[in-house]
Structure 1
Amino acid sequence: MKTMKWLIKREMWEHKGMLFWAPVVVATLIAVLALAAIFLGHNVNFNDDGDAISIGKVTIEGAMRMRIVQTMSQAYMASAMPVLMMLSFLVFFYCLGALHDERRDRSLLFWKSLPVSDFTTVLSKVLLALVVAPLITIGVGTLLSLLILLAGCVMMLAHGTNLFGAVLATPDFYLTPLRLVGLLPVYILWALPTVGWLLMVSSMARSKVFLWAVGTPLVTSLLLVWAEKALHFGINAGWFVTHVVDRILLGVIPGSWLVFEADKIELNHVPHELAVPETIFGASWSTLGGTSLWLGVAAGVAMIAAAVYMRRRREEG
C-alpha cells in the first residue's frame, strides 16, 4: 500500500500540470466569465419552462421562488460541465503517453532498477487515470459551481430576493455533489476499456502513439464498412463501430454510458421538472446490469494485462 501511494505521488509530480493545473485554469476562466456575466449584466434572468423571465427589482415569492430555489439547488453543478468534459481529454492523453514516454526518455531503465513490479507500476497509472484524476476534477468543479451559485444568490439578494436560507435548506444542494462522487464507480467500469486500450498501445508503439491508438480502430471500421457495402460480406460494420470503436475511444467521457445504453434506459421524470440529478444517478447505476459493460470490463482488464507484459519485455523505445 505504501509503495502504491508513492507511485501515485510520483505520477502526480510528473503530470501535475496536466491533471491539476489544467482543470484549475479552465475553472478560473469559467468563473471569471460567469461572474462578469452575473455582476455586469443589467438584469437577472431565470429560465422557466423555456421562457426567460426578467427578475428586475421585484421581490419574488410563492411558487416562482420555490421553482428558482429548486432549479439552483439541483442544477448548480452544471457550471462544472466544461471542467468535467475536460476530464476525458486529460485521461485520454495521460494514458496515451503513460508507458510510451518512460521508454522514450529512458526513465524506464531507472524505474526498473527499483524493487517495484511492472504490475504495480501499471496499476498505479490505472488508479491515477480512473480514480485520482476524476476526484481532482470533481473537486475543482464543485468549488467552481459553489462560487457561481454564491454569486447568483448575492445578485438575487441585490435585486430584493434572499435565497440563501432556502437553498441551504434544500437536500439537493448537498446531495448533488455527493451523487456526482457516487457515479465514480460507474465511470471507472465504463472507462476501463478505453484506459486499457490506450495503455496497451502506449506500451507497444515505438512512435506515433496517437495515430496507432486512434487510427487503428478507425481504419478497421472503414475497411469493414467497405467490405460490407462493396464486397457484400454480410459484416455488421455498424455494430463494430458502436460496440468496439466507441467503447475503446469514447469510454473516458463522463456520462458516455447514457449514450451507449440509450436504447435500454429511460430518463423518466415529471413533466416540467428537471431530469437531474436523481434520475440520471439511478439511470447510470442501472447500466451496470448490461452484458456489454462487463464484456468491456473484461476486455479492459485483458488489455491492461497486455500492457504489463509489454512493459516487462520492452525497456527502450
Structure 2
Amino acid sequence: MKTMKWLLKREMWENKGMLLWTPLAIAGAIVALVLSALVMSHTSNLRIDGQNLATVTIEGQVRTRIAETLVQVYIGTGLPVLMALGLLVFFYCLSALHDERRDRSLLFWKSLPVSDFATVLSKALLALVVAPLITIGITIALGLVMLLATCLTLLVHGTNLFGEVLSSPDLYLSPLRLIGLLPVYILWALPTVGWLLMVSSMARSKVFLWAVGTPVIITLLLVWAQKALMFGVDALWFAYHITNRILLGVAPGSWLVFGGDRIHLAHAERKLPLPDAIFNASWSTLAGPGVWIGALAGIVMIAMAVYMRRRREEV
C-alpha cells in the first residue's frame, strides 16, 4: 500500500502541470470571463420571463422556478473542465510508458525494488481514479462559485434567492451525483486506458499515430471491404463498438452515446429532472454486457502493457 501511494505521488508530481494546473487554469478562465461579463456588461438588460431584473423584483412561481433551475444545472458550468479531462487522460496514458523509455528514466525506475505490475497499475489508477477525482473537485468548486456569483447578481437587482437555493436538496445532491458517476466512468474508460497504455508500452515512435491510426485505418478498410468487395462485415458495428470504445472511452459522458434513449425516456415519460435522468441512464448502461466485455478487454490490455514494460528497453 505504501509503495502504491508513493508511486501515485511520483506520477502526480511528474504530471502535475497536465492533470492539476490545466483544469485549474480552465476553471480560472471561466470564472474570470463570467465575472468580467457580470461586472462590465449591461446587467440592466438582463431579462427573465420578459421581466427586467434591474427594475423588477422576481417573486412567486418564477422565483421558485429560477432557484430550482440554478441548483439543478450549476454543476454544468464545469462542463469545459470535464471535457478537458478526456483529453488530459488520453495524452497522459499515451505518453505514460513511452516517455520513460525515450528519456531513459526507465533504467533508473527499474533499478528500484518496484515491480512492473505496480508501476503500470499506478499509472492506470492515476488515469482512472485520481485524475477524475481532481477534475470533479474542481468542477464542483467552479459550479459553487458560479452559483454564488449568479445569486449575488440577482441580489443586487433586488431578488434574493439564497433561501430557496440553500434549502434545495439538489444543491447538495448534484455534487454527490457527479461523484457517484465515477464507477461508471472507470468501467467505460478502461478499454481506452488499457489500449493507450499497451500502445505506449509497445511503440518505439509515433505513439499517437499507432494509437489512433490503427483502429481508424482498420475501420476504413472494413468500410471499403463492405462497400467494394461486398464482404459480410458490419463496419459500422466495428466503428461504434470497437473504435469508439478504445478512442473515446475517457471522455466523460461517452457512455451516454449508448444510453441517450434512456435519458429521453426518463426525462420525457417518467418526468424525472434532467440531472436525475442522466444519472439513472448512466448507471443503466451497466446492465448491458458491452461495458463489462470492454472493461475485461481493458484489463487484458493493461496486463499486456505490464508484460511489454518488463521486456522493453529504452528507445
TM-score, structure 1 as length reference: 0.95
Question: How far is 1:142 from its partner?
Answer: 1.2
Work out whether 1:9 is the aligned partner of 2:23.
no
Preserved contact between residue 266 and residue 272 of structure 2 (Cα < 8 Å): no
Is 1:267–1:275's contact at 8 Å kept on the other side of the alignment? Answer: no
Give, in angstroms, the shift of residue 41 of structure 1. 2.6
Provide the residue aligned with 1:25 in structure 2: 25
CA contact (8 A) 1:46 1:68 kept: no
Q: Is the 8 A contact 2:124 2:193 kept in 1?
A: yes
1:201 — aligned with what? 199
Distance 2:290 2:117 in 1: 26
Q: Relative to 1, partners in 2 of residues 1:212 and 1:46: Cα closer, same or farther, differing over 3 Å?
A: farther
Relative to structure 1, is the Cα distance of residues 245 and 259 closer, same or farther in structure 2, using a 3 angstrom cutoff? same
Any unmatched runs of 5+ in structure 2? none
In structure 2, the CA distance between the partners of 1:225 and 1:53, relative to structure 1 (3 Å rule), is farther
**Residues 194 and 248 in structure 1, CA contact (< 8 A), matched pair in contact too:** yes
1:40-79 mapped onto 2 (5 Å cutoff) = 40-43=40-43, 45=46, 54-79=52-77
Q: Is the 8 A contact 2:192 2:247 kept in 1?
A: yes
TM-score of the superposed pair, with normalisation by structure 2: 0.96
1:172 corresponds in structure 2 to 170
Structure 1 residue runs of 4+, over 6 Å off? none
1:14 shift after superposition: 0.3
How far did 1:266 drift?
4.2
Match of 1:115?
Answer: 113
**Counterpart of 1:34?**
34
Within 1, Cα distance between the matches of 2:267 and 2:196? 37
Identity of aligned residues (%): 67
- CA shift, 1:148, in A, is 1.1
Deviation larger for 31-40 or 297-306: 31-40
Distance 1:131 1:47, change over 3 A: farther
1:299 — aligned with what? 297
Give the SS at the match of 2:313. Answer: coil
Gaps of 5+ in 1: none
Q: CA RMSD, aligned part only?
A: 1.6
Deviation of 1:57 after TM superposition, in Å, equals: 2.4
Higher share of residues assigned helix: 2
CA distance in 2, matches of 1:291, 1:56: 55
1:92 is matched with: 90
In the alignment of these two chains, the number of paired residues is 313
One-letter amino acid of the structure 2 residue matched with residue 168 of structure 1: L
1:254 is aligned to 252
Query: 3-state SS of the aligned residue for 2:274?
Result: coil
Q: Partner residue of 2:239?
A: 241
Deviation at 1:267, TM superposition (A): 4.3
1:154 correspondence with 2:148: no
Map 1:185-224 → 2, pairs under 5 A: 185-224=183-222
